[in-house]
Structure 1
Amino acid sequence: MPRLKQKRYQQHLMFAMTIYAVVMVLVWPLVRTVTDAPTKWLLALAPLPPMLYVIGLMARRIRDSDELEQRTHLVGLGVATGVVGALSLAGGFLASAQVLPLDGSIMIWVFPLMMACYGVTRWWVARRYSDDLGCDPNDSMALQWRLAIAAAMFGFVALFAFLKRDAFHACMLLGMASTIGVVALARGVIYLRKRHAERMESRNVR
Structure 2
Amino acid sequence: MKRLSERQYRRQIGVTMTLYVIAMLAVWPLAKAAPGLWEKVALTLVPALPMLYVIGLLAYKIASSDELEQRTHLVALGVATAVTGSLSLVGGLLATSGAIRLDGTVLIWVFPLIMFSYGATHWWVVTRRYGGSMDCDETSSWSLPLYFLLVAALLGVATLFAWWRGHMDGFSLGVMLGTQASFVGFAAWTAWRRWRRRRVAGDVVGP
Q: TM-score, normalised by structure 1?
A: 0.91
Task: Determine the structure 1 residue equivalent to 2:152.
Answer: 151
Q: Deviations over 1:111-170 (max 9, x none)?
A: 111011001100110013244235443267632221111111111111112112212433
Structure 1 residues 195 and 180: alpha-carbon distance in aligned structure 2, compared to 1, 3 A threshold: same
Task: Determine the structure 2 residue equivalent to 1:6.
Answer: 6
Structure 1 residues 171 and 33: alpha-carbon distance in aligned structure 2, compared to 1, 3 A threshold: farther
**SS across alignment from 2:27:** helix
Q: Specify every segment of 5 or more residues in structure 1 that has no aligned partner in the other structure, as ranges.
A: none
Return the structure number with greater relative CO, CA threshold 8 A, min gap 6. Answer: 2
Please, what is the CA RMSD of the aligned residues? 1.8
Q: Is the 8 A contact 2:148 2:184 kept in 1?
A: yes
Task: Determine the structure 2 residue equivalent to 1:31.
Answer: 31
Structure 1 residue 58 displacement after superposition: 0.7
For residues 196 and 39 of structure 1, what CA distance do their matches in structure 2 show?
Answer: 57
Structure 1 residues 5 and 195: alpha-carbon distance in aligned structure 2, compared to 1, 3 A threshold: closer
For residues 140 and 71 of structure 1, what CA distance do their matches in structure 2 show?
Answer: 24
For residues 163 and 141 of structure 1, what CA distance do their matches in structure 2 show?
Answer: 33
Q: Residues 89-104 of structure 1 correspond to what in structure 2 (within 5 A)?
A: 89-104=89-104
For residues 195 and 75 of structure 2, what CA distance do their matches in structure 1 show?
Answer: 29
How many matched pairs?
Answer: 204
Q: Percent identity?
A: 42
For residues 182 and 64 of structure 1, what CA distance do their matches in structure 2 show?
Answer: 31
Task: Determine the structure 2 residue equivalent to 1:108.
Answer: 108
Q: Residues 1-206 of structure 1 correspond to what in structure 2 (within 5 A)?
A: 2-127=2-127, 128-133=129-134, 135-138=136-139, 142-165=143-166, 166-167=168-169, 168-203=171-206, 206=207
For residues 121 and 86 of structure 2, what CA distance do their matches in structure 1 show?
Answer: 16
